[in-house]
Chain A
Amino acid sequence: MLRFVLRRLALLVPVLVGLSILLFAWVRALPGDPARALLGQRATPEGIARVNELYGFNEPVLQQYLLYVKALLNGDFGRSIQTGQPVLESFFEKFPATVELGMSALLLAIVVGVPLGYYAARHQGRFIDTAIVSGSLLGVVTPVFFLAILLKLVFAQWLGWLPTSFRQDARIDATHITNFYVLDGLMTQEWDAAWNAMVHLALPAIALGTIPLAIIVRITRASVAEVMHEDYVRTAESKGLSPAVISRRHILRNALLPVTTTIGLQAGLLFAGAVLTETVFAFNGVGQYLFSAISQRDYPVLQGYILFIALIYALINLAVDVGYGIIDPRVRVS
């Protein structure tokens, strides 16, 4: 197992190197000049020249890349052109917000999605099954930003139940230790702050969680439906095992394998959705920052953030593969 993990980690190195080259080329291929984005409407040619010189954008691209890699090896990811803040520092400041949002969304998707899919599979062809399947289809095809705006309109603007922006009410004096606001509130026993942070998570989590939820429903349903008719389930039934035991040990355990893979893949994809969700809800996380970095052509931020996200995505997938072994001991043997 350890060897497996190590080999997978080693494989990451060439992947990340390749990605860093692609990224480096890609951000520079974006039309538009970061210096002008920084200096705005009153940019003078001298000002632009100076900024380009300061960030080395005048150098040949290859040389820029080598300097970038050299700095990377020293743990220096550069600084944002827009704010001057070190990329690494800002990432760790904002990452908790995105993790908090992503985990809420994923939790929602799993807790609601798996039972729904299971239920649909067990009631195949009935009205409830049709309803769940068509509902999930709607969930899959609804774009995140559209859903986010819709949720905001209905629950915040019309009904006034939930807040529309930020991670916490600006009037609350909350202590922030870890930057996971809910956790911070619980740790410092500022219950109102924790509750407030959860309320602020509600709409963004629903917006971000809907697509994974719908996908999980569909995969669970298909997988359970398939396993239900396997020989070993019939055997278990004829052995006279209780339906609860059959469901848990024979059907769910086997059916959950593809679901786990799906969850892993979706966890990575959450970052993409987070860019839109965070922007719509003014939720101060990695996604929102990445969005503004794209519009400002903030090369160092784009390169650093996307590299991190790729790394995290890879690690999540590794965790999923390790997770297989726990759910299904057969994988360990092979």
Chain B
Amino acid sequence: MATTAVLAGAALLLSSCAESERGNGGEEGTEGEAGGGTFVFAGAAEPELLDPAFASDGETFRVARQIFEGLVGTEPGTADPAPLLAKEWTVSEDGLTYDFTLETGVKFHDGTDFNAEAVCFNFDRWYNFPEGVQSDDFAYYYGKLFRGFAEGPKAGEGIYESCTTDGDDKVQIQLNSPFAGFVAALSLPALSMQSPTALQEYQDDAASNVNTTDYSTKHPTGTGPFKFESWERGNQVTLSRNDDYWGEVAKVDTVRVVAIEDAKARATAVQQGEVDGADLIGPADLQPLEDAGMQIMAREPFTVLYLGMNQKTKPLNDIKVRQAIAHAIDKEEVAAASLPEGSEIAINFMPQSVTGWTDDVTTYDYDPEKAKRLLQEAGADGTTLEFNYPTDVSRPYMPSPADTFNVLRSQLEAVGLKIKPVADVWSPDYLDKVTGSADHGLHLLGWTGDYNDSDNFVGVFFGTQTDEFGFDNKELFDKLAQARGIPTVEEQTPLYEEINQDVAEFVPAVPIAHPAPSLAFGPDVTGYQTSPVNDEVWSSVTVGD
């Protein structure tokens, strides 16, 4: 009864070309062509641990993506799922049964075979995570996506049913409730395949602290193009090329990932040649770096920056006031003044490549006169509003919050609102205030998508009543819950479009832009492929001549 879903069909098409490419590279052996050398990359923090199943932060995933691979990857340069360790897959009509066909002849770095059994080992491991690691600070993604575990407070709530092997290269995953984002979610490093042998020997999921187990600090073992060498805490992670990689072997011999917290310092380090590349470069540093002969790259935006409005605060509970604020904002000016080039103006709370994005939503064009009129009608002209913004932080969706704040402030003051600026340190003060208390008015926040899933944007923002927005809109909450449970992406699309329209009508916040995060590289780096969802594997990178 199984029919091939459109998504899987597209993936099949992809798999055939990916395969042919791989065939050329892998079998003939690319060792001879490898440029060699060391690629040094600077992130903003060091990884938290090396077992991605327990991580949810970008820096951990950055390293994990070099070592590990999932059943599903992404098509280069996009957020769309593509075959990786699974060559192809089909999904049953009811959205409950997924059949994966695996790549054969793949081995983990410790020599263990990657096969159907290893896949089920990983699925069973996640499902049986002990209570201690089920929370948000560890198995965040598994918990969020599969919604439950075998034991603990969420026992029986999960959507994972079983994993069965059929020979070495076929595996069937059974869910007990449809999840349209399932395949896309498998591209998350948190759900990548790990060596059962190494896990059994070095990992202890029941340890009182899984961050410090042998596996999490010294023995991460995957199938990826780089093997783990060492992690000097607070200093650097060193990886070496996996010469037995099943696909195209990496070009550089060694990869080092270092952490430089300060955005300005990261830019300087690239310019001085202390590192070959760095992520999250501030908009102000882009031009000087370019002038100095460095290469700048922008990720295709998979982000959204919005101006949030807390409906627990008067007069923001009045829709007219929220509409007025939306009309008062000149998004183009905000982007030009405070966001990197390549950023796109937003009309939805999700980037265009995500299911459900639609241009058929109420838009609030920049119209200060109309804004003033609306404020007068609401009797709110001249009102003082608190405006919270964070300092000393650059997020992928918000590289320089203070600059963004300043532009918005002058635009809002131009229509007769009085703004009381409230600046806080990002973590934990700002997050505490804005997402954990009702003590805020307007605020700046945003999101970077983890993978291509609509719920990962609108569901995160507006799926339940939050302190951040302070509204209780049961209709909206219900629609989001319903959309999440629909088995296929095609069926989800109209509902998410409707949700986007509802949200635009309700104005809980003003979507401003989809900022493009920027990276910088030294002049002699080639072959870096950016990815909107940060799925950047460095096997194609070369350094030097």
A interface, CB within 8 angstroms of B: 31-34, 36-44, 46-48, 50-51, 79, 82-86, 90, 93-94, 152, 156-157, 160, 163-167, 169-171, 176, 279-280, 282, 284, 288-289, 292, 295-297
Contacts and interface: CB of A to CB of B under 8 A. Distances in A.
B235 interface: yes
Interface stretch (B62-70, B77-85, B264-272): B264-272
B136 A39 contact: yes
A292 B261 contact: yes
A181 B209 CA distance: 30
Contacts of B436: 33, 36, 43, 48
A165 B428 contact: no
Contact of A32 (B211, B429, B445): B429
Contacts of A156: 268, 272
Contacts of B137: 38-39, 47, 50-51
B527 interface: no
Top 5 A-B pairs, shortest CB-CB distance: A84-B211, A47-B136, A37-B428, A32-B428, A284-B234
Nearest to B211: A84
Interface of B: 38, 40, 48-49, 56-57, 135-137, 140, 209-212, 232-236, 256, 258-262, 265, 268-269, 271-272, 274-275, 425, 427-429, 431-432, 435-436, 445, 447, 460
Contacts of A94: 234
B274 A44 contact: no
Contact of A86 (B48, B212, B256): B212
B429 A282 contact: no
Given A42-B460, A44-B136, A34 B428 contact: yes
Contacts of A90: 233-234
A95 to B, nearest CB: 12
A36 B272 contact: no
Given A41-B435, A84-B211, A163-B274, A282 B261 contact: yes
What DSSP secondary structure best describes chain B's contact surface?
mixed
A40 B427 contact: yes
A90 B98 CA distance: 45
B78 to A, nearest CB: 24
B209 A176 contact: no
A171 B255 CA distance: 9
A165 B269 contact: yes
25 contacts: A33-B428, A33-B436, A36-B436, A40-B427, A41-B447, A46-B136, A48-B436, A79-B209, A79-B212, A83-B48, A85-B233, A90-B233, A93-B234, A156-B272, A166-B258, A166-B274, A170-B236, A171-B38, A171-B40, A171-B256, A280-B265, A282-B261, A292-B261, A295-B425, A296-B428
A163 B209 CA distance: 37
Given A36-B432, A40-B427, A83-B48, A164 B265 contact: yes
Most buried by A among B40, B209, B275, B427: B427
A84 B233 contact: no
A215 B212 CA distance: 44
A44 B431 CA distance: 12
Contact of B234 (A50, A280, A289, A296): A289
Given A31-B429, A43-B136, A284-B234, A163 B272 contact: yes
Nearest to B275: A170
Nearest to A288: B234
A116 to B, nearest CB: 32
A292 B392 CA distance: 13
Contacts of B265: 164-165, 280, 282
A284 B210 CA distance: 24
A169 B435 CA distance: 40
A169 B269 CA distance: 11
Contacts of A288: 234
A32 B425 CA distance: 10
B40 A51 contact: no
B136 A164 contact: no
B38 A50 contact: no
A169 B234 contact: no
A280 to B, nearest CB: 8
A83 B211 contact: yes
A163 B274 CA distance: 7
Contacts of A284: 234-235
Most buried by A among B49, B211, B265, B428: B428
A169 B431 contact: no
Most buried by B among A31, A37, A44, A165: A165
A83 B49 CA distance: 8
A41 B397 CA distance: 13
